[in-house]
Amino acid sequence: MSELTSLTTSEMRAKLLSGEISSMELVSAHFDRIEETSDLNSFITLVKDQALKNAESADIIIKEKGSNSGLFTGIPVAIKDQLVTKGIETTCGSKMLKGFIPPYDCTAVKKLKDAGAIIVGKTNQDEFAMGSSNEYSAFGPVKNPWDNSRVPGGSSGGSAAAVASGQSPIALGTDTGGSIRQPAGLCGIYGMKPTYGRVSRYGAVAFASSLDQIGPFARSVKDLALTLQTISGLDSNDATSVKDKVPEFVKELESWESKDLKGIRFGIPKDLMSGGLEDSVSNSFNEVISRLVKLGAEIVEISLPHASSSLAAYYITAPAEAASNLARFDGIRYGHRSSSYHSLQELYEKSRAEGFGKEVKRRIMIGSFVLSSGYYDAYYKKAQQIRTLVINDYKAAFMNSCDVVLTPVSPTVAFKLGEKTSASPLTMYLADIFTVPINLAGLPGISIPTSLSPEKLPIGMQCVGPLFSESLLLGVASVFEREFKFPVTQRTTGRIN
């Protein structure tokens, strides 16, 4: 039975439609797997009873409608706890929201449910999506399925670990500065941050609204395309969602089945690649480049002169927006309320002091500082100016030199639990060097597992394209998938160390 947890959603759908398996069996197999691998701590909330009930209904729908049923009918999915789910506790990995039961569904979640998907649970994450290791969760860290002494990445670490370990075939995450791409890379699966505006943010608890995007995790490029196609599109509840027709990502992907990379220009940003790369990552990057050349790709050196200032600009912009967004958690309108206080001021202070964890407090303080009178021009305004320069760098690169920008996803493989939390916060922030520029520029980026390090840890590559070039990125990723044959299901059956 355990091989059911290795399948892609299209394989599951074929088996469900042919009657070879039932949704009941499929969903139960995933809960067995979740139990067997519970030490990963990838879920904050599980909804087994509800999921099994939904599986029963899905089996009836499949019998009645067959292939006219929604594409995900009867298929399990995992949802990051940053996304609100009607009737299911949503904490954002924080004590602040413990016990919060949302009265509505996030649009992306609703779209998956409308397509028949069955939620198995809410995945663990860094508190309010702030972090790169999942260690800043109020519900304990998540472990990397490839090595339990290491982090899965963050902030959507639970979603990545769930998909990599066979607890769910796909999952949703959010990506403000890398939180889908980085954990996907460190856990050896596929992850995509769509173009800003491609997917509605309605119902994603806001971290940094000008950077946040919802996106999918999967064990195959096709599943990534299917999920993206399902969750994309205009939403009247999010004024930043774009009205363009959603492309048929899955159909467009089919046209890549017979293609190689002939004529595709991959830009290597020299300014970003200087120093800081672990040997195994830089060796694997060079190997990937030589394989791409054999597949007909053209490799060009490009210049993104301001990209290396992205980390500084991001770690001012994101905390500034977070300080403002998180002001709503005051213990009155939203969030945890302290049980003892003598004045309104004390109620605010104690509720926030008790509800928020260390990293969130640090971000609120940084954000309030950079926005405060006298410092605004020196920090926040400067960061916005850098952001414009970064946007222009990418525009120029795509206009003049390349179709796709290629970098590793992260400068290192999955690091040890505690390794970076015990050092200065800056060491954690440096893990985001390749991912944050993409959010500043609003571009789409995909994380593709390509190799294993000598110690058998996944290494992922990131491809970034112009605005709304998801189809191109998925196509390129499918060639990588075919050529590199990364053992993406190695962790989906059997015991985990």
Q: Would you call 179 a catalytic residue per the annotation?
A: yes
28 is annotated as an active-site residue: no
445 belongs to the binding site for ligand GLN (CB under 6 A): no
Decide if residue 175 touches ligand GLN (CB under 6 A): yes
Q: Which stretch binds ligand GLN (CB under 6 A): 170-178, 328-336, 377-385, 404-412?
A: 170-178
Q: Which of 22, 41, 132, 325 binds ligand GLN (CB under 6 A)?
A: 132
Question: Considering only 65-73, 171-179, 328-336, 488-496, which stretch makes contact with ligand GLN by CB under 6 A?
Answer: 171-179
**CB distance 380 to 371 below 8 Å:** yes
Q: Name the pairing type of β-strands 76-80 and 43-46.
A: unpaired
- Say which of 168, 179, 220, 410 is annotated catalytic: 179
Scan residues 183-222 and list those touching ligand GLN (CB under 6 A): 207
Give every CB contact of residue 100 below 8 A, 6+ residues apart in sequence: 89, 90, 91, 335
Q: Does 318 bind ligand GLN (CB under 6 A)?
A: yes
Do the Cβ atoms of 64 and 138 come closer than 8 Å?
A: no
- Report d(CA 455, CA 44) in Å as an integer: 30
Kindly tell me which residue out of 5, 37, 124, 155 binds ligand GLN, with binding defined by CB under 6 A: 155
The verdict on 403 binding ligand GLN (CB under 6 A) reads: no
Shortest Cβ distance from residue 483 to ligand GLN (Å)? 29
Among 44, 55, 130, 272, binds ligand GLN (CB under 6 A): 130
Residue 179 Cβ vs ligand GLN, minimum distance, rounded to whole Å = 3
Active site residue 86: no
Q: In angstroms, what is the minimal distance from the CB of 209 to ligand GLN? A: 12
Catalytic-role residue among 42, 94, 137, 155: 155
Binding ligand GLN by CB under 6 A: which of 178, 183, 449, 465? Answer: 178
Give residue 407's identity as a one-letter amino acid code: T
Sign of CA dihedral 431, 433, 438, 440: positive
Write down the catalytic residue from 6, 80, 111, 220. 80
Nearer to ligand GLN, 181 or 306 (CB): 181
Both tokens assigned to 21: 């398996």
The residues binding ligand GLN (CB under 6 A) are 129-132, 155, 174-179, 207, 318, 432
